[in-house]
Structure 1
Amino acid sequence: MKHVAPVGVLLAATTFLGAPAHAGSVAAPAGTEPGSVKPGGARKEPVGGPRLGGRGVIAPTGVKAPPKTAAESYVVADADTGEVLAAKDAHGRYLPASTLKALTAITLIPKLDKTRKITPSRRAVNEEGSAVGLVPKPLYTVEDLFKALMLVSGNDCAMALAEANGGLATTLADMNAEAKRLQAYDTVAKTPSGLDKPGQSSSAYDLTLIARAGLANADFRRYISTKTDKFPAPKGHYEIGNHNRLLWSYKGMIGVKNGWTSKALGSFVGAAKRNGHTVIVSIMRHNGSFWGDVAGLLDWGFAARGKVIPVGHLVDPIPDPPPPTPTPPPVKAPVAAPKAVETAPHEESPPVGLYVLGAGLLGGVIWMAYGLRRRFR
Structure 2
Amino acid sequence: MGMKHVTAVSAIALAGGLTLVAPGHARAASDDTTPIGGALLGQRGVVVDPAAKALPKTESSAFVIADADTGQVLAAKDAHGRYLPASTLKILTAVALIPRLNKNETIKPSAEACNVEGSAVGLTQNRIYKVDDLFRALMMVSGNDAAVALAETNGGLKRTLADMNAEARRLQARDTVAKTPNGLDQPGQSSSAYDLALIARAGLANPDFREYVSTKVAKFPAPGGEHYEMANHNRLLGRYPGMIGVKNGWTTKALGSFVGAAKRDGHTIIVSVMRHEGSFWEEVKDLLDWGFAARGQVAPVGALVGPVPKVKPTRPVGGPPAAAPAATGGPAAAAEDSPLVGAGALVVAVGLLGGAAWVVYGVRRRTRAQRDDQPDL
TM-score (norm 1): 0.76
Count, aligned residues: 294
Q: Secondary structure at the match of 1:248?
A: coil
In the TM superposition, residue 320 of structure 1 has moved relative to its aligned partner by: 2.2
Q: Secondary structure at the match of 2:165?
A: helix
CA distance 1:35–1:192, change in 2 (3 Å): farther
The whole-number CA distance in structure 1 between the counterparts of 2:310 and 2:116 is: 35
User: Greater CA deviation, 298-307 or 313-322?
Assistant: 313-322
CA distance 1:75–1:212, change in 2 (3 Å): same
Decide whether the 8 Å contact of 2:88 with 2:183 is kept in 1.
Answer: yes
Q: Which amino acid aligns with 1:208?
A: A
**Alignment match, 1:240:** 230
Decide whether the 8 Å contact of 2:25 with 2:43 is kept in 1.
Answer: no
CA distance 1:259–1:54, change in 2 (3 Å): same
Decide whether the 8 Å contact of 1:252 with 1:274 is kept in 2.
Answer: yes
In the TM superposition, residue 65 of structure 1 has moved relative to its aligned partner by: 1.6
Equivalences for residues 314-325 of structure 1 within 5 A:
314-322=304-312
Tell me whether 1:289 sits opposite 2:279 in the alignment: yes
Tell me whether 1:182 sits opposite 2:171 in the alignment: yes
Tell me whether 1:305 sits opposite 2:305 in the alignment: no
Decide whether the 8 Å contact of 1:59 with 1:65 is kept in 2.
Answer: no
Identity %: 68
The whole-number CA distance in structure 2 between the counterparts of 1:175 and 1:97 is: 15
Equivalences for residues 187-206 of structure 1 within 5 A:
187-206=176-195
Question: Which 5+ residue runs of structure 1 have no aligned equivalent?
Answer: 1-30, 329-377
Decide whether the 8 Å contact of 1:271 with 1:281 is kept in 2.
Answer: yes
Equivalences for residues 140-219 of structure 1 within 5 A:
140-219=129-208
The whole-number CA distance in structure 2 between the counterparts of 1:140 and 1:323 is: 42
Decide whether the 8 Å contact of 1:34 with 1:93 is kept in 2.
Answer: no
Q: Which amino acid aligns with 1:318?
A: V
The whole-number CA distance in structure 2 between the counterparts of 1:154 and 1:322 is: 39
Tell me whether 1:36 sits opposite 2:26 in the alignment: no
CA distance 1:137–1:175, change in 2 (3 Å): same
Tell me whether 1:108 sits opposite 2:87 in the alignment: no
Q: Deviations over 1:313-332 (max 9, x none)?
A: 1111112223798959xxxx
Q: Which amino acid aligns with 2:136?
A: K
Q: Secondary structure at the match of 1:184?
A: coil
Greater C-alpha radius of gyration: 1
Tell me whether 1:51 sits opposite 2:40 in the alignment: yes
TM-score (norm 2): 0.76
CA distance 1:314–1:145, change in 2 (3 Å): same
By percentage of residues, which structure has more strand?
A: 2
By percentage of residues, which structure has more helix?
A: 1
User: Greater CA deviation, 125-134 or 314-323?
Assistant: 314-323
Equivalences for residues 115-154 of structure 1 within 5 A:
115-154=104-143
CA distance 1:307–1:162, change in 2 (3 Å): same
Q: Secondary structure at the match of 2:150?
A: helix
CA RMSD across the alignment:
1.5
Equivalences for residues 62-77 of structure 1 within 5 A:
62-77=51-66
CA distance 1:128–1:32, change in 2 (3 Å): farther
The whole-number CA distance in structure 2 between the counterparts of 1:153 and 1:242 is: 9
Question: Which 5+ residue runs of structure 2 have no aligned equivalent?
Answer: 1-23, 319-377
